[in-house]
Structure 1
Amino acid sequence: MFRFASPLFLFFLLAPLLILFFRLRKKQDDIRVSTLEGLDRLPVSLMVRFSGLLPVFKTIALVLIILALARPQWGDRKITVSTEGVNIVLALDLSESMSAYDFKKDNKLVTRLDAVKSVVREFILKREGDRIAMVVFGSNAFTQLPLTRDYNTIAFILDRLKIGAAGPRTAIGDAIGISLKRLEDIESKSNIIILLTDGKSNSGEISWQDAIKIAAERRVKIHTIGIGTNGEAPFLVDGFFGKQYVYQKVEMDTEALKTIARETSGSFFEAGDLKSLEKIYAMIDSLEKTKTDLEKWVEYEEMYPGVLAAGLFFLLSYIVLANTRFLRIP
């Protein structure tokens, strides 16, 4: 398989064409003589004939150097790489309670969502061969990203999630339903949903009880993660003297999360701090592995050294000949 590693340099090939265009338009200076009689019988030396090749040498040199800059490569074989991959939907809670400041990162208080972002981002970038989708939910649930192996894009979208983007409440049933819909897009031997929430289902069009029945029928495994603590959690609010922390009541339905996991052959985890959250995703990472084969081109051979050498040869030949044997003195 042939390709250019830096194809943008190919635009510079317009330069030789422009040079040729202007050269053809340029009129040659005329030499006035009294008569041309007999000039056609004058012998033309071999060197005079070869002098016309100098512009050709220069053009070839320029073209070859530009092609070398574009780095032509040849992939000499296509290999099948055996890797472990599954279809994963990350269902993330963006309800208002995710703004609680009860997690610490680098000795600083951070929101639950910020803690989730840092851990999930690392989880995403460690996966190989998996297709990952992202569903976010609050009062409603919607697809943030369909199944893809573009992990950098997933991480980019993750970093830009905002609390309250899907509404202030918690629609766990809808989140599972939308996640199941995304898993229909591409077939896989293994399909899982990682559902992360800090609340209790109190919104949505479908109950989580009905949603997990569908998941169980389709053999979709759901791992549930309850983040934060029950009781009271600190929230940063605008007070009379500026920003201040105020403790507010929060409620997480751990029994529902345990049931969701149990009925779909998944696992329930509870994360009260950043370290436990990291361990949970590391555990899920080790659990969810499935063999899959990926085809890709490898071992690209760089061809630019030979092209560059040829270009430099023509350039050097042009410089030497133009300044020695074919030197023109005005």
Structure 2
Amino acid sequence: MLEFAWPWIALLLPLPWLLRLLLPPADSGEAALRVTFLDELENLGGKRARPRLPGWRRQAPFALLWLLLVLAAARPQWLGEPLPLPSSGRDLLLAVDVSGSMDYRDMHWQGETVSRLTLVQRLFGEFVAGRSGDRIGLILFGSQAYLQAPLTFDRQSVRQWLEEAVVGIAGKNTAIGDAIGLAVKRLRQRPADSRVLVLITDGANTGGEVAPLTAARLAAGEGVTLYTIGIGADAEQAGAVGLYGLNPGLDLDEPLLRELAAVTGGQYFRARSQDELRAIAETLDRLQPVLQTPTTVYRATPLYPWPLAAAVLLSLLLVAHELWPHGPPSLRRRRP
């Protein structure tokens, strides 16, 4: 099926004729002498007068050129067979803590000691890539919360943005309430039965302008289900202590995370290791999808290069005709 992406461009078709009618004729400012017997003078000199074409025949090539340019600007495209786009999942926002404590290297991945953020990136990157049919978005929060990726079906881009997250990019503190508030702002425009927020943090709320419980109650009022994940090894697992000799795992405010999830009808998960975090991702991956309005897309093949190429070719022919009205110079010299 043929379709024009910008059909309103066709309104420009009469523009050259309107300009000719509205603008005054060009004046060179030089005196001119009108000679009625110019053709006879050319014949006496042995040159053949160039035939004068009627007005419409002289304007036809330029009218065709303008038509081709307008046609190319309207961006014609051929729409193929309709392709169903899976849209039976949820609108899911992933809020990831990127505060300074997420740089603690107390987690393990395939025999290698890695930071908490690195483990989240590797495991939840797979989680994001596997959420076929869901709209996925990404929030990064530290001292402030930022929307890194809006809700989209492009899971690969969201995964890439998650893998490129850096500790401290949003500040060193942990603004859990601000992250929840930003998620509610983005999810409230979506269907009420499909709003999900997965929040991953390793600490307590130490920054931000919105209290976490206030934000959670607001989320519950907007029908947002909150799943909280506390990440970080226990003291005996970490084998190390944090600043001032304190175990970084003690910073995690588990009672608050449990209450936040309970207020919205969600669940709290504790991730102390790679296996536990993978199990949590698999549990979240089994969330029952809520049917939404099916979406149909068409594969569009652009056709504008064809009229554009024809316009370029016609322009070259017109230029050649003006420069060499009787053929190239080499051929004119050989004529008797």
Alignment match, 2:201: 197
Q: Give 1:225 deviation, angstroms.
A: 0.4
The 3-state SS of whatever aligns with 1:287 is: coil
Higher RCO (CA 8 Å, separation ≥ 6 residues): 1
Q: Give 1:195 deviation, angstroms.
A: 0.6
Alignment match, 2:249: 250
Alignment match, 1:217: 221
1:164 counterpart = 2:164: no
Alignment match, 1:148: 151
The 3-state SS of whatever aligns with 1:84 is: coil
Measured in 2, the distance between the counterparts of 1:253 and 1:231 equals: 15
Measured in 1, the distance between the counterparts of 2:80 and 2:187 equals: 36
Query: Counterparts of 1:226-241 in structure 2 under 5 Å?
Result: 226-231=230-235, 233=238
Q: Give 1:181 deviation, angstroms.
A: 1.4
Identity of aligned residues (%): 30
Contact 1:135 1:141 in 2 (8 A): no
Measured in 1, the distance between the counterparts of 2:192 and 2:220 equals: 16
Alignment match, 2:181: 177
* Unaligned stretches of 5+ residues in structure 2: 6-76, 302-336
TM-score (norm 1): 0.62
Measured in 2, the distance between the counterparts of 1:193 and 1:297 equals: 27
Measured in 1, the distance between the counterparts of 2:261 and 2:241 equals: 32
Change in Cα spacing, 1:167 to 1:219, as seen in structure 2 (3 Å) is same
* Unaligned stretches of 5+ residues in structure 1: 4-72, 238-245, 302-330
For 2:145, give the aligned amino acid: F
More strand per residue: 1
Contact 1:101 1:234 in 2 (8 A): no
Change in Cα spacing, 1:134 to 1:299, as seen in structure 2 (3 Å) is closer
Alignment match, 1:98: 102
Alignment match, 2:39: none
Measured in 2, the distance between the counterparts of 1:76 and 1:180 equals: 38
For 2:249, give the aligned amino acid: V
Measured in 2, the distance between the counterparts of 1:268 and 1:180 equals: 18
Structure 1, residues 264-318: CA drift from partner, whole Å, max 9, x if none?
10011111111211111111111141223443346899xxxxxxxxxxxxxxxxx
Measured in 1, the distance between the counterparts of 2:116 and 2:86 equals: 37
Change in Cα spacing, 1:166 to 1:76, as seen in structure 2 (3 Å) is closer
Q: Give 1:190 deviation, angstroms.
A: 1.1
**Worse-matched range after superposition: 123-132 or 271-280:** 123-132
TM-score (norm 2): 0.61
Measured in 1, the distance between the counterparts of 2:274 and 2:210 equals: 31
Change in Cα spacing, 1:117 to 1:146, as seen in structure 2 (3 Å) is closer
Measured in 2, the distance between the counterparts of 1:205 and 1:267 equals: 24
Q: Calculate the aligned-residue CA RMSD, in Å.
A: 5.4
